[in-house]
Amino acid sequence: MFESLSEKLQSVFKKLRGKGALTEADVNEALREVRLVLLEADVNFRVVKDFIARIRERAVGQEVLQSLTPAQQVVKIVNEELTNLLGGNEVGLKLAQKPPTIIMLAGLQGSGKTTTAAKLANTLRKQGRKPLLVAADIYRPAAIKQLQVLGDQIGIPVFTLGDKQDAVSIGKAAVASAQSNGQDVVILDTAGRLHIDEGMMDELKRLKAAISPNEVLLVVDAMTGQDAVNVAEQFNQALEVDGFIVTKLDSDARGGAALSIKAVTGHPIKFAGVGEKLDALEPFHPERMAGRVLGMGDVLSLIEKAESAFDQEKADELERRLRENKFDFEDYLEQLQQMRKMGPLDQLLGMIPGLNPKQMKGVEIDESQIGKVEAIIRSMTREERHHPEVMNGSRRRRIAAGSGTSVQEVNRLMNQFEQMKKMIRDLSDMEQGRRPAKMPFFG
């Protein structure tokens, strides 16, 4: 996410920090570089011009240049202005005082609208809501079927009248159905086009007038950069949107769309799509995103991911087993599975302050290794998982063959597991006031 932009900005600020004392000329030179970086990232040129002007006005004052850490002060200013550029504060959904809350999704064909509708429904269901998905795209082949398949995957009902009714009739009937069945959120997946046309906008206007949605959210593809901002501007002028959902943000190394859209339209990004899975939709936090871009990490999001992935009762049980030295391969496998729920490792590492996974020399983030470990453990018998000490040479050869790995890889996992158990025992000794044995090093 924002990989190219982040690396280039961090390089600029690294030069500033290396200077110690700063002059106005130093700051101006740095801002020239920042300006070029942002333009290369496909940020709207008017947005870049205003952004640089605000930073320059704040950064060249005596209070900054004569401070003990002028470079840090400049970075702090950039962080604050970047947060403002991205929207300032998180803006949540406007929920109806009297259910159901009606959310109308719009966007061009190919922006990820149908999948995003399912992701949004899944997110709201986890918050205790009872959403209803509405198939209001009657033009794209298989659009209705796609939404039904996605709804089945997450256990959320899909309202459809087929492709013979118009979107306005479908929308009205869906809202009435939700009111009758106690569903408190209605999410409409409307039709997109390959480009903006008058017929498309007219249908969306009529649908909006008929159902009076609480939220009109435009779904835009981050990978299209400046084109996404142009689409957002045109939709907003015609439809008066309430906010945006930016998809494929995890694949956007530049960041132009996310950095421009609020400043150009005046409306906030409310959610970000950060992966293909149906739980890969996050509320958009401007201050956290600014931190990621500038290499300051995003610890709050990391904690939230951990809290949502890890079951508290299981965590308590694991702690008890650790203290009683009963940690086995069943526990090891469960921890791997919990960690995978948090998302791709490179995304998680990007949330750690000061740690850019792409700059970690000699460290390869290979998630297939986790898959190999899982395959090895699953190839063990129940006895072997609970009592690893029974593993002899023949058992290890059988496990390697069953998991599609080598005996060396099985041995490596066994060694890592024993080192982990030893470290756990040492930590337990430290808590109980005993002198621990020398900690093993393992990487």
**Amino acid present at 268:** P
Provide the pLDDT for residue 432: 53
From the list 240, 149, 222, the residue with the least C-alpha distance to 189 is: 149
For residue 276, the one-letter residue type is E
Q: 244 — phi, psi (to 5°)?
A: -130, 150
Residue 72 pLDDT: 81
Q: Classify residue 392 by burial, with Cβ atoms within 10 Å: 0-12, 13-18, 19+.
A: exposed
Task: Tell me if the pTM is above 0.75.
Answer: no
- Cα distance between residue 234 and residue 110, in whole Å: 17
Rounded Cα–Cα distance for residues 133 and 147 (Å): 8
**Residue ranges, the chain, pLDDT below 70:** 1, 20, 68, 253, 296-325, 337-368, 423-443
**Tell me, what's the pLDDT at 210?**
95
Residue 211: per-residue pLDDT = 94
306-344 pLDDT, tens digit per residue, is 555 555 666 566 666 666 667 788 877 777 766 666 666
> What residue ranges define each of the domains in the chain, with the CATH number in brackets?
3-85 (1.20.120.140), 101-295 (3.40.50.300), 304-431 (1.10.260.30)
